[in-house]
Structure 1
């Protein structure tokens, strides 16, 4: 009997499969025939991360929250920039201490067009502007629910500091308002109805001019002329003003004691009311203020952490905080404390 094959111990079965002879390690593998692929091949630079491959990137989201203890209300705004900053999408709403939401509003803003949608009232406010030429600009706004809007045209008159603006309500209720802008101020003329339902022309304007090392300002509004002069140097400021024909006069005085300490004082001659404010700053982020107002007979003191007039992003840790204490003259034992905070998060 023949010896059984190690891979086929039963000689009555089919003969064993032939063994495969592998090429030596030094010989290169046989080339593979290319096969069509339904997916495009990536370039080596794309795989390395430095080429034409563009991936979807989530736009940055910004959340700003503000709390006012006087009204016990939180104000929130969520915004993100789209299309590399060409547009902005924002959502704003309020909620009280119980969590109830109120006044939700959606907004889509671009440089020349914006839409603000009031969710509760189901109303939208549309605003847009377009430059028809280098010297002409058209602006328009429309309230969808009220079916009212305003249309304005601004034309540059040679020098960019000289402009003529014509604006009118839509639908029109009279002649358009004309405003002439010039380097020293502006003057506007519009049609109004008097108490006798007669159409009259109303003239308003403001003019500024340098005079005796200061700035003189004249403001004319509804037959009332206010004249104000402001002299200011590195340490002192004098601001007298008078209104005609009421002859209501006031005087302002400001004194800077140091780069971080200053005081201001205002006195109204017609009512004998006055108010004073003292300010002290520590760097750019902390400001202490204290003052008294005789009109309401109220003394107060507050401290700001962060720029008072700036945004939260310019404040330390993107936070603005105000602590304020008010004390009434006739109720000293019951001071009133206020707290305001504005915080920004970037995601």
Structure 2
């Protein structure tokens, strides 16, 4: 019975063949071209036109070395085809060079990391023979840094700036012509949270500005008080709905004010209208394409703004202006 169960005496029992190793894979030889040429880097062409100045601004740029560097050529031209302000720029992570073809002048900027916490920065204007050198040291604690910078050629002690999480303080030697002596100038800014907002104190050139900024999903309020002028200004913004916002700014010292109403239609359309009492001018504009974004993200890679300006004192001199920015990727 045991043999019948195991299949030894069963005539219908078939013994399975022993497994065999799979055949070795066949080697395939891929043919490579004898001569291979690098792919051409993508070229970006951008043109901007402002009807107020009637001048085109053109920029041609491309990235190469696996996008490690960028080469750019820019110039202005008018309706007659006259070219002005041509400039060639080379920009990389550690070096940038801007050369003005009309002025025959170059501006060179460089930045080099010296170890994990030190950075050396330099800038030089070739024609003016002036520049600046700075050393930045990132301290052990995050948010703390010390920067020493000096003009080249040096005219005094270097400027020292100490940065910390809630602000920064700078010490710089300042020349006083009246006393014919150099004094130490102090400037800085401090920030801190208070009552669901941010308080700011900024001191520079013997002027102190005290500000407070409150902001939530529907409202923002930003008053600024200046000393010793005792000038007070405040900005107010109110979100009227998902697509509507009202902004208001007032200067208590001069009684000048301005107001702006903004309505958005999706992401790529924006209507704005406002009034400025200082220049007594009312205006309205329509943006096609994100106002603060790049032409790359706009429909058809093009941004257009139409603006109507209406002077209060002379309505007949109203003007309709427009700006266009178009990008091509070649």
Residue number in structure 2 paired with 1:45: 30
> Cα deviation per residue 1:94-143 (whole Å; 9 max; x = unaligned)?
00111100011111111101111111111111111111110100001111
Listed as ranges, the matches of 1:41-190 within 5 Å are: 44-47=29-32, 54-190=36-172
Correspondent of 1:298 among 277, 281, 286: 281
2:303 alignment partner in structure 1? 320
Aligned equivalents of 2:103, 2:234: Cα separation in 1? 46
Q: CA deviation at 1:311?
A: 1.4
Matched with 2:196 is 213
Shift of residue 169, structure 1, vs aligned partner = 0.6
Choose the corresponding residue for 1:289, options 263, 269, 272.
272
RMSD of aligned alpha carbons:
1.5
- 2:60, 2:153 → 1: CA distance? 35
| TM-score when normalising by structure 2 | 0.88
Aligned equivalents of 1:218, 1:224: Cα separation in 2: 10
Count, aligned residues: 302
- 1:185 and 1:46 mapped to 2: Cα distance? 62
1:329 corresponding residue in structure 2: 312
Q: Which has the larger radius of gyration?
A: 1
**Preserved contact between residue 46 and residue 53 of structure 1 (Cα < 8 Å):** no
Following superposition, the deviation at residue 44 of structure 1 comes to 4.0
Match of 1:338 among 315, 321, 325: 321
Deviation at 1:54, TM superposition (A): 4.5
Gaps (5+ residues) in structure 1? 1-42
CA-to-aligned-CA distance 1:255-310 (integer Å, 9 cap, x gap): 10112100011111111111100000011111111000101110000111112122
In the alignment, the residues of structure 1 paired with residue 206 and residue 144 of structure 2 have an alpha-carbon distance, to the nearest angstrom, of 25
The alignment partner of 1:333 has SS state of: helix
SS of 1:45 mapped into structure 2: coil
Alignment of 1:178-327 (within 5 A): 178-196=160-178, 197-327=180-310
Task: Please report the TM-score for the alignment, with normalisation by the length of structure 1.
Answer: 0.84
Q: Equivalents in 2 of 1:114, 1:91: separation in Å?
A: 13
CA offset at residue 56 of structure 1? 2.1
Report how far residue 251 of structure 1 moved. 2.1
What SS does structure 1 have at the residue aligned with 2:31? helix
